[in-house]
Amino acid sequence: MKTMKAYLDTAETPAGPVAFAVNEAGALVRATFEEAEDHPDIEEDLKADGYEVSRDPERTARLGKEISEYSAGERREFTVPVAAAGTPWQQKVWDALARIPFGETRSYAEVAEMVGRPGAARAVGGANGCNRVPLVVPCHRVISADGSLGGFSGGLHLKQRLLEHERRFSSRAQRAATDH
C-alpha cells in the first residue's frame, strides 16, 4: 500500500494564522486556524489519518500565495483543488459553500435549498461542522436564518473576523466600481 504524503505549512489570515496541508498533487487536505477554540494538532490529525507528514515550501507555495492574496483582499475565490475526505452529503454541501460569493452569506436553509434538500438546514450545519478545510471551503459564510452567526468550529470570534474582512473588501470593490 502506497503511503499518502502531506506537506504542512502556515499562512496569515484575517482570523490569525492557519496551518494547512496539501497532498502530493498540491490539493488541500486539511486546514485549521491556530487561534481556534479547539485547535487540533494538524500534524497528529494527519498522521492519525495515515499521512506521512513533512514540509516542502515548493509544494505549499501555491496555496500559501492564494491565502496571502485573500488576506490582502486581492483574491475572492481559491483555485487550489480540495481533496478533503467526507461523505457524499458533506461533499455536496461543501461544493455549495464554495459557490457562495466572497463578501456574501447564506443561511443554513438557503444552503439546503442550493443542494436540493429544502428543510435540511440542520444537516447542512452538521456538514459544515465536519469541514476540515475552512477558509478555502468557506463555511464561515453560512449564518443562521435570523442573521446571527450560528456556529463555527474555530469559534465565533474567528468567523466574525473573516466576515468583516470580506465585507470590508467587498464594499471597497463596490465603491471603486461606482466611482468609475
Please identify every residue annotated as catalytic.
139
The 3-state DSSP class for residue 163 equals helix
Q: Which cell goes with 60?
A: 505549499
Spacing of C-alpha 26 from chain mean position: 16
Q: Are 35 and 158 in contact (CB under 8 A)?
A: yes
Spatial separation of the C-alpha atoms in residues 77 and 10, rounded to whole Å: 19
Spatial separation of the C-alpha atoms in residues 141 and 134, rounded to whole Å: 10
